[in-house]
Structure 1
Amino acid sequence: MNKTGRKPFFAWLAVFAHLVSLAFVPMAQAEMVGTGAMLDEADRAERVAEVRDMLGQERVAEQMVELGVDPAAAQARVASLTDAELAQMQDNLESLPAGGSALAVLGVVFLVLLVLELVGVTNVFSRI
């Protein structure tokens, strides 16, 4: 067989392979994102950042360690809280005094532990 007979065969094979590969490309879908959805997402991100900042404070981390909770695990679980839980935690954080007292820190730690207990991450209250 001569070389001129192979060229059309390989050209058709390449075209066929290209057309078959197009069948496996997923279709892109786009839709409009409303302003409300974007504001809700930004509000949630702000709440998560505030709660993480509070949990990142040294005194809060020390209290969590004393109670047997890993501060890194608590930080990781903040992202999975529902909007209602985040709002409740943020409201509690905003009602605390600006300087913060030991009682306020214990209250925040208790709230975090309660949420972690309800989610099923820890078993702190099973001993009580």
Structure 2
Amino acid sequence: MKRLTRLLSPLLILALVVGSLPAMAAAPAAGQDLVGTTSVLDAQTSQQDRDKIRRVLAREDVQQQLLLQGVSPSEVENRVAALSDAEASQMADRLDQMPAGASVVGALFAVFIILLVTDILGLTDVYPFTR
């Protein structure tokens, strides 16, 4: 019996070592940590920011303006993909803060029209050509 145990013990040890090698290879390395909730939420937020930027850039009027400026849509897509997470978040925040359809030129034009109408009605004396 002792003789049989001496023969089987190294064989069993060898079988266990060889059998556990695939399990050890599939196990994660010691340096890898679990994925935290904040990192998942940050990745999701980053993807939402990039999607918002892509939606704005996919509008037809924006595409026309980009083409007038000499920028191709594929170049724009590459640049959006190259943005860091912080840059994408900052750009998406700026898109949210911009007033819809308003610009400095539009505001100046509106002031010009208002002053012109009031000058024609005689309420102001701003433009000499209205007399």
Instruction: With the length of structure 1 as denominator, give the TM-score of the two structures.
Output: 0.53
Q: Which residue of 2 aligns with 1:39?
A: 41
- 2:82 corresponds to which residue? 80
Please, what is the CA RMSD of the aligned residues?
2.6
* Closer, same or farther: CA 58–101 of 1 in aligned 2, 3 Å: farther
Higher Cα Rg, which structure: 2
Q: CA deviation at 1:28?
A: 5.0
Cα distance in 1, alignment partners of residues 78 and 27 from structure 2: 32
Match of 2:117 in 1: none
| Sequence identity (%) | 36
Q: Secondary structure at the match of 2:35?
A: coil
**1:92 & 1:52 partners in 2: Cα distance?**
14
Whose RCO is larger (CA < 8 A, sep 6+)? 1
The secondary structure found in structure 2 opposite 1:50 is: helix
Q: CA deviation at 1:84?
A: 2.2
Indicate the SS of the match to 1:36: helix
Stretches of structure 2 lacking an aligned partner (at least 5 in a row) = 1-17, 106-131
Q: 1:90 aligns with which of 86, 89, 92?
A: 92
Deviation at 1:87, TM superposition (A): 1.9
- Distance change >3 Å, CA 36–CA 86, structure 1 → 2: same
- Normalised by the length of structure 2, the TM-score is 0.52
The separation in 2 between residues aligned to 1:78 and 1:63, in whole angstroms, is: 17
Q: Which moved more, 1:49-58 or 1:85-94?
A: 85-94
Runs of at least 4 residues off by over 4 Å = 101-104
Distance, in Å, in 1 between the alignment partners of 2:80 and 2:36 is: 26
Equivalents in 1 of 2:38, 2:91: separation in Å?
22
Shift of 1:91: 1.8
